[in-house]
Amino acid sequence: KAGVTQTPRYLIKTRGQQVTLSCSPISGHRSVSWYQQTPGQGLQFLFEYFSETQRNKGNFPGRFSGRQFSNSRSEMNVSTLELGDSALYLCASSLPSVEQYFGPGTRLTVT
Amino acid sequence: DAKTTQPPSMDCAEGRAANLPCNHSTISGNEYVYWYRQIHSQGPQYIIHGLKNNETNEMASLIITEDRKSSTLILPHATLRDTAVYYCISRRGSSNTGKLIFGQGTTLQVKP
């Protein structure tokens, strides 16, 4: 069974731009969660989508948004990029109430 | 979900057992203990989870104390590839959410 895939793997953007990251979950998984990982803050939960609805949201500004499509694929968007948004963005998929399977992440660098 | 406490770092000799402790003294009766690990710059990987009984799978064993206030993840024969950050997370068993709260974890260094 194919794992969680994330595209692109690496991205360089400039301040003020916006970015869209994509996540394809494991086949059959309907829950997709997003995390941000930085050296200073560690792994932080951004939001979770289940059946195209946002089910949970972490403590991030409104510049961070996401959506999920009917095939469970998910995208997250960051608008008006700031230098502090440089991070590894991780996506995880799961069936409800069991372990999460993480993708390899997208490394975003904001210059 | 209960707060977990782990030592920031540990060393282990290759081929020996690695025992990683986790304290979760405020854990409630319906909270499971999950372990994940993250090898440098990769996504976290699920290892094992348990409620109150000891658990074993192909990767590791999980020993939970009788009062459930602490647990130990055991990698029976550590290899260099087990060098990673190990996260202990508590999570309600009835939770219908994918949200995980990660702490700082334990950096395990396996040395030859």
DSSP string, A26-92: PTT--EEEEEEEETTTEEEEEEEEETTEEEEE-S--TTEEEEE-TTS-EEEEE-S--GGG-EEEEEE
- pLDDT for res A77: 98
Determine contact: A26 vs chain B, CB below 8 A.
Answer: no
Contacts of B33 in chain A (CB under 8 A): none
- pLDDT for res A1: 67
Determine contact: A94 vs chain B, CB below 8 A.
Answer: yes
Determine contact: A99 vs chain B, CB below 8 A.
Answer: yes
CA geometry: angle A37, B111, B61, nearest 5 deg: 70
CA of B28, closest CA in chain A: separation in Å?
17
Q: Which residues contact B83 (CB under 8 A, 6 or more apart)?
A: B39, B108, B109, B110
- pLDDT for res A96: 67
Option in B45, B99, B103 nearest A45 (CB): B99
CA separation for the pair B80, A27 (Å, rounded): 32
- pLDDT for res B29: 84
Determine contact: A68 vs chain B, CB below 8 A.
Answer: no
Helix, coil or strand: residue B109 = strand
Eight-state DSSP code of residue B35: E
Per the CB < 8 Å rule, is B102 touching A103? no
CA geometry: angle A105, A49, A43, nearest 5 deg: 40
- pLDDT for res A10: 97
- What are the pLDDT digits (tens) for B2-43? 789 999 999 999 999 999 999 998 888 888 999 999 998 899
CA separation for the pair B102, B105 (Å, rounded): 8
Determine contact: B92 vs chain A, CB below 8 A.
Answer: no
Hey, what are A60's tokens?
């991030």
**Percent over 90 (pLDDT), chain B:** 74
- pLDDT for res B94: 60
The model's confidence at residue B91, banded by pLDDT at 50, 70 and 90, is: confident
The model's confidence at residue B63, banded by pLDDT at 50, 70 and 90, is: very high
- pLDDT for res A97: 60
Per the CB < 8 Å rule, is B44 touching A43? yes
- pLDDT for res B95: 61
- pLDDT for res B86: 98
Backbone angles phi, psi at A91, to 5 degrees: -115, 145
Per the CB < 8 Å rule, is A96 touching B96? yes
Q: What is the mean pLDDT of residues B67-96?
A: 90
**Residue ranges of chain A whose pLDDT lies below 70:** 1, 96-97
| Residues B59, B46 contacting (CB under 8 angstroms) | no
